[in-house]
Amino acid sequence: MPNLSRRSFGALVGAGATSLALPYYARAQGKPKAVVIGGGAGGATAARYMAKDAGEDLDVTLIEANPAYTTCFFSNLYLGGFRTFESITHSYDTLASNYGITVVNGMADAVDRDAKMVVMADGSKVPYDRLIIAPGIDLIYDSVPGYSEDAAEIMPHSWKAGPQTQLLKAKLDAIENGQQIVMVTPPNPYRCPPGPYERVSMMAHILKEKGFNDSKITIIDPKPKFSKQALFQEGWEKHYPGMIEWYGPDVHGGIVKVDPSTGEVETDFDTFKGDLVNVIPAQKAGMIAAKTALTNESGFCPIDPKSMRSQADANIFVIGDASIAGDMPKSGFSANSQAKVAAMAIRGDLTGSKVFPAKYSNTCWSLIETNDGVKVGAQYAPSPEKIASTSKFISQTGEDAAMRQATYEESVGWYKGITTDIFGA
């Protein structure tokens, strides 16, 4: 029977012993149980790393609502025609067959923190010793007056990849010359800060490819500035002159409402009418996080920067978009990086294996036009208050074509590497 070391026991006590039941070896008959809710960039990585590194010492279960996962990352490239939908959709089969992970296909409806049980929507229960919650985001539909889940069938958000992404692609492909596209972007914090602006670039790429010079894309932004702004605006000027207008709040004065029946976006200053309207509302942690009482007033989950352990429950870790990860943006790269830290901490808790100091990293690439890629990224380490950035980099305006092509090719390599790291090869 593995030992829980003095060091890791101390860590557990420090993390809030009052909420902890006895260590696993004092009560469990079988192997300790690590359960993950959410098989996305964060959750699937964590499950794979725990199963891979703990081998026979840990029983790993992954609970996921959907039978397959479509990545939001590179979904913009699918819109732009650079990727097929199949190439951004991944199965859980390898995690089950090669790593011995029990994949439960269903919706986790609640967590009984006292009994340490995940309660599934069908009423079945999944017991855990340590739980990772990685549900990604939920959309706050009414943050944009007039918008709703039903309205998203007409004005797709496409901020969760899958049918919504295919709907937006179908609407984009149906645009005719002279028709207008309007995008309402979200307030901070939201998943993938450069994502809306990469999406606009990919939409413009399609319009340009078809020679639709009379069509325009208008961005109504609730933020006064956005990620990689100088890089995007330089790229839009170069590749799509006159095609893209960006309005910050000092110009439009505020978003009053959207009307799915007319395609109108009303602001304090003016009303914009789109033949295609893409509304990306405000966001919060996926439902299960709030239902488990792990969120604060921001709608996201405070964590210990050293481990991703929830500040509300020492037996639970929150990773990815649902967490408050300090300086880290909400990205697939971040979620994958945080997953490895949480997986190591859980192995330490449950098997006594060594826990090394946490390090995190992120890079977000964006494609502006064919072979014109830009990136922004950073390294991070835990500080007493938060996950803090320790060094940063960003592409520069005016870079030559060879550098931009290399940056794009780097992103293609990254996609292959990260999806293998998440779902196994």
Ligand X SMILES: Cc1cc2nc3c(=O)[nH]c(=O)nc-3n(C[C@H](O)[C@H](O)[C@H](O)COP(=O)(O)OP(=O)(O)OC[C@H]3O[C@@H](n4cnc5c(N)ncnc54)[C@H](O)[C@@H]3O)c2cc1C
Nearer of residues 110 and 381 to ligand X, judged by Cβ: 110
Angle between helices 43-54 and 332-351 (to 10 degrees): 40
Residue type at 107?
M
Distances (CA, A) of 132 to 46, 47, 283, 307, 322: 8, 9, 20, 11, 11
Any contact of residue 352 with ligand X (CB under 6 A)? no
Count of residues making up the chain: 425
Location of structure tokens 């039978």: 67
Give yes or no for residue 66 binding ligand X (CB under 6 A).
Answer: yes
Q: Which stretch binds ligand X (CB under 6 A): 204-212, 229-237, 324-332, 369-377?
A: 324-332
- What sign results for the dihedral spanned by CA atoms 248, 253, 257, 261? negative
Closest contact distance (angstroms) between CB of 423 and ligand X is: 12
Single residue of 23, 32, 43, 235 touching ligand X by CB under 6 A: 43
Residues of this chain, 367-406, that bind ligand X according to CB under 6 A: none
- Token pair, residue 161, equals 């990849």
Instruction: State the Cα–Cα distance between residues 107 and 128, nearest whole angstrom.
Output: 16
* Nearest distance from C-beta of residue 262 to ligand X, angstroms: 26
Q: Considering only residues 64, 266, 304, 372, which one is a binding residue for ligand X as defined by CB under 6 A?
A: 64
Minimal distance in Å, beta carbon 337 to ligand X? 10
Q: Please, what sign has the CA dihedral across residues 183, 184, 188, 190? A: negative
Determine contact, residues 157/196, Cβ cutoff 8 Å.
no
**Residue 24 or 69 having the CB closest to ligand X:** 69
User: Considering the rule CB under 6 A, would residue 195 count as an interface residue with ligand X?
Assistant: yes
Considering the complex, what minimum distance in angstroms separates the CB of residue 8 from ligand X?
A: 26
344 sits near ligand X (criterion: CB under 6 A): no
Question: For residues 258-297, which are near ligand X according to CB under 6 A?
Answer: 286, 288
Interface map 111-150 toward ligand X (x if CB under 6 A):
-----------------------xxx--------------
In the bound state with ligand X, the residue whose beta carbon lies nearer, of 243 and 364, is 364
Q: Which of these ranges, 37-45, 148-156, 246-254, 304-312, lies near ligand X under the rule CB under 6 A?
A: 37-45
Preceding amide of 224 cis, omega within 30: no
In the bound state with ligand X, the residue whose beta carbon lies nearer, of 72 and 144, is 72
Residue 201 binding ligand X, by CB under 6 A: no
Candidate residues 205, 330, 340, 375; the one interacting with ligand X per rule CB under 6 A? 330
Give the residue, chosen from 11, 47, 54, 72, that forms a contact with ligand X under the rule CB under 6 A.
72
186 interacts with ligand X by CB under 6 A: no
Per-residue H/E/C for 222-238? CCCCCCCHHHHHHHHHH
Residue in 45, 92, 33 with CA at minimum distance from that of residue 64: 92
Q: By CB under 6 A, tell whether 80 contacts ligand X.
A: no
Nearest-CB residue for ligand X = 40
Q: Confirm or reject binding of residue 63 to ligand X (CB under 6 A).
A: yes
Q: What sign has the CA pseudo-torsion 245, 246, 252, 255?
A: positive
229 burial type by CB count under 10 A (0-12 exposed, 13-18 middle, 19+ buried): middle
Name the minimum Å distance from CB 214 to ligand X: 26
Place of tokens 């293609």: 412
Task: Report the alpha-carbon distance of residue 423 to residue 235 in Å, rounded.
Answer: 34
- Is 107 a binding residue for ligand X by CB under 6 A? The answer is yes
Long-range contacts of 2-5, Cβ-Cβ distance < 8 Å, separation of 24 or more: 2/57, 2/351, 2/352, 3/352, 4/349, 4/352, 5/352
Which CB sits closer to ligand X, 85 or 269? Answer: 85
Number of residues that bind ligand X (CB under 6 A): 38
Q: Is residue 232 involved in binding ligand X (CB under 6 A)?
A: no
Q: Does residue number 75 form part of the binding site for ligand X (CB under 6 A)? A: yes
Please report whether residue 364 would count as binding ligand X according to CB under 6 A: yes
SS3 133: strand
Residues 65, 152 contacting (CB under 8 angstroms): no
Residues that bind ligand X (CB under 6 A): 37-43, 63-66, 69, 72-73, 75-76, 107-108, 134-136, 159, 191-192, 195, 199, 286, 288, 320-322, 330-333, 335, 364-365
